[in-house]
Amino acid sequence: MTVRPSRRLIPVSLITVVLTLAAAVAHAGDLLPSWNDGPGKQAIVSFVEKVTRPGGASYVPPAERIAVFDNDGTLWSEQPVYFQLLFAVDRVKALAPHHPEWKDQEPFASLLKGDVKGALAGGERAVAEIVMVTHAGMTTAEFEQIVKEWIAAARHPKTGKLYTEMVYQPMLELLAYLRANGFTTFIVSGGGIEFMRPWAERVYGIPPEQVIGSSIKTKYEVRDGRPVLVRLPEIDFIDDKAGKPVGIHSRIGRRPIAAFGNSDGDLQMLQWTAAGSGPRFMLLVHHTDAEREWAYDRKSHVGRLDKALDEAAARGWTVVDMKKDWKVVYPSGK
């Protein structure tokens, strides 16, 4: 039995009343209005009702109701390339006046000519160079401010929307539905942790301590008597593929009971979640809607869904068909 001293200070009867009322509210009405009735929605609701039913065989205490969500392609769009890369491109353009040498230096020369494809021809090394010059060299507070300003103003090249308007309305409802049922919702993304934190709480209701992502190293320094953390051009942790269970264990220290992803980069996170004892829920978002969003899977360079799609079929994981299962994609209603 876990001792939680703080809880004992509030009468048990009061806790019971509140939990009962909260549960009643959480089940009242349909908290997933943007989901069509179908096997996907049914599987979600059935799992949540099972693990929250007091006294039920599959009951899971709230502290263990950990749900992990990939971000790119699972909570918001990721085409034509990951949005963080578009952020980096904008940063290269903003910094270019201070770097005249970039005009003749790849991958920057191509980027500045608007040729993203050409810039990325240099492969992982090109991406790493772009990330390092745009994400390192400043303090954590400065980087946070840069991200906040960009996310408030930058618009997607195809839709013209703010990037935070390209989050999935059905997934926002799912996050809220899980939290209303006592779950703690974590982001576990290959994207940069400090790129997501400045807006994840406002947009997803997920506070910074529940965001897990890739990171570069930081260093503590006292500058003019004031402590700062400086972002270094050195990879700290890649939270993708086999890194996701590592990040989950390191940051949360409990195995999730539910995991939500959309690509092969999420496969190990779903495997790790599935391998625990007791009730489990694994879900993949399948991008099937070329009209309202994008349609891609096995051949895509971004968000490839191939091995994980086979494994989902073999193991009975839930696969959401965006076109069929979602009434709307974005909060704007389209």
Q: Which residues bind its own copies (CB under 8 A)?
A: 1-6, 8-11, 14, 18, 21-22, 25-26, 31, 63, 140, 172-173, 175-176, 179-180, 184, 193, 197, 201-203, 205, 207-209, 211, 215, 218-220, 222, 226-227, 229, 236, 242-243, 245-246, 249-254, 268, 271-272, 275
Give the sign of the dihedral formed by CA 29, CA 35, CA 37, CA 39. negative
In the bound complex, what is the minimum distance in angstroms from residue 103's beta carbon to its own copies? 35
Say how far apart CA 149 and CA 300 lie, in whole Å: 30
Nearer to its own copies (CB atom), residue 31 or residue 285: 31
How, if at all, do strands 211-223 and 184-192 pair? parallel
Nearer to its own copies (CB atom), residue 268 or residue 288: 268
Say how far apart CA 199 and CA 315 lie, in whole Å: 35
Task: Report the 10 Å Cβ neighbour count for 103.
Answer: 11
Task: Report the 10 Å Cβ neighbour count for 55.
Answer: 5
In the bound complex, what is the minimum distance in angstroms from residue 124's beta carbon to its own copies? 20
In the bound complex, what is the minimum distance in angstroms from residue 182's beta carbon to its own copies? 10
3-class SS of residue 228 = strand
In the bound complex, what is the minimum distance in angstroms from residue 294's beta carbon to its own copies? 25
Task: Say if residue 277 is exposed, middle or buried (CB neighbours under 10 Å; 0-12, 13-18, 19+).
Answer: exposed
Nearer to its own copies (CB atom), residue 47 or residue 294: 47
Estimate to the nearest angstrom the gap between the alpha carbon of 83 and the chain centroid: 12
Nearer to its own copies (CB atom), residue 69 or residue 294: 69
Nearest to 84 by CA among 193, 195, 187: 195
Nearer to its own copies (CB atom), residue 107 or residue 190: 190
In the bound complex, what is the minimum distance in angstroms from residue 118's beta carbon to its own copies? 35
Nearer to its own copies (CB atom), residue 263 or residue 288: 263
* Helices assigned H by DSSP within the chain: 12-27, 39-52, 83-95, 108-112, 116-120, 123-135, 140-153, 169-180, 193-204, 243-251, 267-274, 307-315, 322-325
Say how far apart CA 269 and CA 165 lie, in whole Å: 27
In the bound complex, what is the minimum distance in angstroms from residue 155's beta carbon to its own copies? 21
Residue with tokens 């264990």: 249
Nearer to its own copies (CB atom), residue 218 or residue 288: 218
In the bound complex, what is the minimum distance in angstroms from residue 41's beta carbon to its own copies? 17
Cβ contact 239:203 at 8 Å: no
Nearer to its own copies (CB atom), residue 71 or residue 268: 268
Estimate to the nearest angstrom the gap between the alpha carbon of 304 and the chain centroid: 16
In the bound complex, what is the minimum distance in angstroms from residue 69's beta carbon to its own copies? 14
